[in-house]
């Protein structure tokens, strides 16, 4: 989360405040633009305290742990989403709104990959698994995807989407312009296609399986619930990815409409 916080705070120092000195602009309380980094950092801490979380440094919410720690992770997600909502509300024109939504897409990606998902690693898989708590009970592949997205704050029908064919789930969540299909591609070629598409968070649907794909710009990982439990592994190490003849890929972190929905949804 460090890179994300640095980016948001740097962005906050560049943002323009309302001419009426609205209380919504925390930089005014610190003497203007030069001190806005500290102001936005304080706003983030106050948001954490408002939802019952400890400030950063007082508890470890990014690593795997107990149900209580997962609750803290979800609380951090709510606080970060609230921060982005406030920044969008302060945007003065279309260009500023677009910039905030780009930062929002990046924030959503990092919160899912770095804050929520690590708690799920090692949770056992079951075809009928529906647990909502990491490492307590078992979880099926579709329920893993929809539970994480629900806990990230998207207002979705967790059960219905988890039971749907993976392509239908992807089409409902992600705009068609951010969805691509691959038939009978060797897994190495598919991996290269993801690398070419670029860094980000994706949802992939396979012949009989689903999960997240994460690309950091140099490597591509499949994050999913399978026979080994919830794991993060390179493409070539996943039997499900290698064996699938059909793959549909939706780039969740590229969808501006989804980012806007994330900020407006009451979920989380």
Report domain extents, the chain. 2-120, 152-259
Work out the pLDDT band at 52, boundaries 50, 70, 90. low
How far apart are the two ends of the chain, measured CA to CA in Å? 19
Helix/strand/coil (H, E, C) string of 7-52? HHHHHHHHCCCCCCCCCCCHHHHHCCHHHHHHHHHHHHHHHHHHCC
Check pLDDT > 80 for residue 40. Answer: no
pLDDT at 235: 86
pLDDT at 267: 64
Asked which of 40-49, 78-87, 116-125 is least confident by mean pLDDT, the reply is 40-49
Predicted pLDDT of residue 53: 54
Q: What is the band of 19 on the pLDDT scale with cuts at 50, 70, 90? A: very low
């997240």: which residue's tokens?
212
Judged against a pLDDT cut of 50, whether residue 58 lies above it is answered with: no
Whether the Cβ atoms of residue 169 and residue 146 lie closer than 8 Å to each other:
yes
Check whether 23 has a pLDDT greater than 50.
no
Q: What pLDDT digit, counting tens, does each position of 175-220 carry?
A: 999 999 999 999 999 999 999 999 999 999 999 999 999 999 999 9
250-265 pLDDT, tens digit per residue, is 999 999 999 999 999 8
**Cβ-based neighbour number of residue 237 at 10 Å:** 11
Confidence of residue 66 (pLDDT cuts 50, 70, 90): low
Note the Cα 51 to chain centre separation in Å. 19
Report pLDDT for 24. 37
Q: Are the C-beta atoms of residues 265 and 153 closer than 8 Å to each other? A: yes
pLDDT over 80 at 2, yes or no: no
Please state which of the ranges 67-71, 78-82, 159-163, 164-168 shows the lowest mean pLDDT.
Answer: 67-71
> Which pLDDT score is estimated for 212?
98
Q: Which two tokens stand for residue 267?
A: 């979920």
- Condensed to tens digits (0 to 9), the pLDDT of residues 83-133 reads 999 999 999 999 999 999 999 999 999 999 999 999 999 999 999 999 999
Structure tokens at 67: 């149900």
- Percentage above 70 pLDDT, the chain: 75
Helix axis angle, 166-173 to 141-151, nearest 10°: 20
**Average per-residue pLDDT in the chain?**
83
Strand order, beta sheet including 246-251: 179-183, 246-251, 200-205, 210-215, 220-226, 229-234
Average pLDDT (226-247) is: 95
Q: What is the mean pLDDT of residues 48-59?
A: 46
> Quick one: pLDDT band at residue 18, thresholds 50, 70, 90?
very low
Per the DSSP assignment, residues forming a β-bridge with 179 are 250
Residue 123: its pLDDT value, please? Answer: 97
């Amino acid at each position: 989360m460090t890179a994300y916080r640095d980016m948001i705070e740097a962005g906050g120092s560049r943002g323009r405040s309302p001419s009426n000195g609205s209380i919504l602009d925390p930089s005014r309380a610190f003497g203007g633009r030069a001190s806005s980094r500290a102001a936005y950092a304080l706003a983030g801490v106050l948001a954490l305290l408002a939802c019952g979380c400890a400030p950063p440094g007082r508890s470890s919410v990014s690593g795997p742990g107990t149900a209580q720690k997962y609750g803290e992770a979800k609380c951090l997600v709510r606080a970060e989403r609230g921060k982005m909502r406030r920044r969008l509300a302060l945007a003065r024109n279309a260009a500023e709104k677009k910039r905030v939504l780009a930062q929002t897409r990046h924030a959503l990606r990092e919160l899912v990959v770095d804050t929520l998902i690590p708690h799920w690693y090692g949770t056992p898989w079951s075809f009928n698994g529906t647990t909502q708590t990491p490492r307590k009970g078992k979880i099926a592949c579709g329920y893993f995807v929809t539970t994480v997205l629900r806990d990230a704050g998207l207002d979705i029908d967790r059960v219905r989407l988890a039971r749907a064919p993976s392509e239908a789930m992807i089409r409902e969540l992600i705009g068609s312009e951010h969805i691509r299909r691959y038939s009978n591609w060797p897994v190495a070629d598919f991996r290269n296609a993801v690398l070419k598409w670029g860094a980000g968070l994706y949802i992939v649907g396979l012949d009989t399986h689903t999960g997240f794909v994460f690309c950091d710009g140099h490597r591509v990982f499949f994050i999913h619930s399978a026979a080994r439990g919830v794991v993060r592994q390179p493409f070539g190490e996943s039997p499900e990815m290698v064996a699938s003849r059909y793959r549909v890929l939706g780039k969740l972190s590229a969808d501006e409409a989804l980012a806007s929905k994330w900020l407006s949804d009451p979920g989380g």
